[in-house]
Amino acid sequence: MSKPDRRLFLAGALATIVTPALAGKARLLADASLRGGIDAGEYGIRPGTFDDQSKAFARLLDEASEADKPVYLPAGEYRVSNIVLPKSVILTGVPGSTRIVYGGDGHFLLAEESARIELIGLAFDGMNRWLSDETRGLIDLRGVGHVLIDNCSLAGSSKNGVVLERSAGRIERSDIAGAVDSGIWSIEGAGITIAGNRVADCGNGGILIHRWSEGEDGTMVTGNRVSRIRALNGGTGQNGNGVNLFRAKGCVVSGNDIADCAFSAIRANSASAIRIADNRCVRSGETAIYAEFAFEGATITGNVVDGAAHGISVVNFNEGGRLATVAGNVVRNLSADGPYPPDSPGFGAGITVEADAAVTGNVVEGAPLWGIGLGWGPFLRDVAVTGNVVRDSRVGIMVSVVEGAGTALIADNVISGAKEGAIVGHRWAEPATGDLAPGGDTGYSHLTVERNHVS
């Protein structure tokens, strides 16, 4: 047998003790090679230089797109500006170590009518630098057939973080923080999934799902953590929301943890056929969960609201807002204080509904105004409130008894510690009856009250 080569032996020994970090980077390089990927170094793109590498970077992406090959960026920092992404981009880096920094003077990454854009394992930093008037976000993708943003981070946008318009795809497992406007803004989405991300410290919104006109959207917002969303541009609800749906039909907002939003944790405006389920909404400045204006069909189930000026509001029958189920939610620790001086009757309602709604199996505790509110003036129709528990509120259940108010059934609820009455009829903000909880003939043909338990 021939004598073993000492150099081969040492190389093999070193390979067995390579660190996990180096092994991970080696695997990424190997994977890129196996897929026929392109190493940016071959185009003279080097991390850590102070030079703007935009021209070389754009050429690399264009040629990779023409060859239908992915691009691998090694760990380090790359400074680029005004990159127009070609028809197909698969750009991969080392998570947490490959940083692409905006050099300023226009836009950062922009795509229009591309077939596929995939950004994986990259850190993007806008450095809070100026973005042009026509640019809406640090990553601005328009009309993209398939988007994947996975395991990325994004910070320091002077406008929005990621903007998708008329696009389909996924944003997942990413960390988006410090955008002056919103973290993620989808416009006219075509089935977007936004899952497992962290969105924090944004100036006007967390995750926005908007349409220019009402239509089917189907976006799913699931399993995200959204926190510390301010309302720098002011208003009474246009800004300051963790998740905001506007004119978007068929959306699902579920399993999210949303904390410290200036206005709502989840706000749906003119958004029909939506499901808001199993979210945790903590310390909302105004209404924690809101379905408002011209909507038809909202299912709000299994949420926990802990701290808000109002808990859950499903309102604006006067604008066409109707058809809802509010079931199995826990609402507690409400406040009479909000982000602006309120109209009468003030803040502090647990759950409020107006038209074609079932309110069942909820628990409301600590409402300074009323635990459950039914209707407003004549805007009440076909509401059933059954099997709820209301504790320690000023009024347990408020129901409108104004002329023109429609049918309401209040039955089999448990109400305790209601300081000014368990069930009280109101004419708008003012009490108009005594306590109706004992049941029997209420004196109002539209109202049935029976089998409630009061202590």
pLDDT in tens, 70-104: 999 999 999 999 999 999 999 999 999 999 999 99
The pLDDT assigned to 14 comes to: 34
429-455 exposure pattern, b = at least 16 Cβ within 10 A, e = fewer: eeeebebbbeeeebebebbebeebebe
The pLDDT assigned to 172 comes to: 98
Q: Which helix (H) or strand (E) holds 345?
A: none
The answer on pLDDT for 4 being more than 80 is: no
The answer on pLDDT for 27 being more than 70 is: no
Task: Pick the more confident residue, 35 or 136.
Answer: 136
- What residue ranges define each of the domains in the chain, with the CATH number in brackets? 24-175 (2.160.20.10)
| Secondary structure class of 13 (helix, strand, coil) | helix
The pLDDT assigned to 36 comes to: 59
The answer on pLDDT for 10 being more than 90 is: no
pLDDT in tens, 193-211: 999 999 999 999 999 999 9
The answer on pLDDT for 165 being more than 80 is: yes
The answer on pLDDT for 12 being more than 50 is: no
Mean pLDDT, to the nearest integer, of 153-170? 98
What percent of the chain clears pLDDT 90, i.e. is strictly above it?
A: 87
The pLDDT assigned to 50 comes to: 77
Q: How confident is the model at residue 40 (pLDDT cuts 50, 70, 90)?
A: confident
Q: Which of 367, 431, 355 is nearest to 393 (CA)?
A: 367
d(CA 252, CA 268): 11
DSSP 106: B
* Rounded alpha-carbon distances, angstroms, from residue 319 to 148, 199, 315, 342, 403: 37, 32, 9, 20, 19
pLDDT in tens, 97-116: 999 999 998 999 999 999 99
- 351-353 and 370-374 strand pairing: parallel
The answer on pLDDT for 341 being more than 90 is: yes
Mean pLDDT, to the nearest integer, of 171-192? 97
| Secondary structure class of 419 (helix, strand, coil) | coil
Mean pLDDT, to the nearest integer, of 420-442? 96
Q: How confident is the model at residue 453 (pLDDT cuts 50, 70, 90)?
A: very high
The pLDDT assigned to 44 comes to: 85
Q: CB-hemisphere CA count at 13 Å for 194?
A: 32
The answer on pLDDT for 26 being more than 70 is: no
pLDDT in tens, 218-252: 999 999 999 999 999 999 999 999 999 999 999 99
Q: How confident is the model at residue 257 (pLDDT cuts 50, 70, 90)?
A: very high
| Structure tokens belonging to residue 352 | 């409020």
SS (H, E, C) 75-87: CEEEEECCEECCC
The pLDDT assigned to 270 comes to: 98
Per mean pLDDT, which range of 20-29, 119-128, 288-297 is the poorest?
Answer: 20-29
Mean model confidence pLDDT for the chain: 92
Q: Which of 3, 89, 4 is nearest to 40 (CA)?
A: 89
Residues 425, 400 contacting (CB under 8 angstroms): yes
| Structure tokens belonging to residue 268 | 């749906």
d(CA 135, CA 403): 52
Residues 167, 189 contacting (CB under 8 angstroms): yes
Gyration radius of the chain's alpha carbons: 27
The pLDDT assigned to 447 comes to: 98
Q: Which residue has the tokens 């009518």?
A: 113
Task: Pick the more confident residue, 428 or 33.
Answer: 428
Task: Pick the more confident residue, 380 or 7.
Answer: 380
Residues 161, 154 contacting (CB under 8 angstroms): yes
d(CA 253, CA 208): 11
The residue type at 451: R
Say how many Å lie between the first and final Cα of the chain, rounded. 94
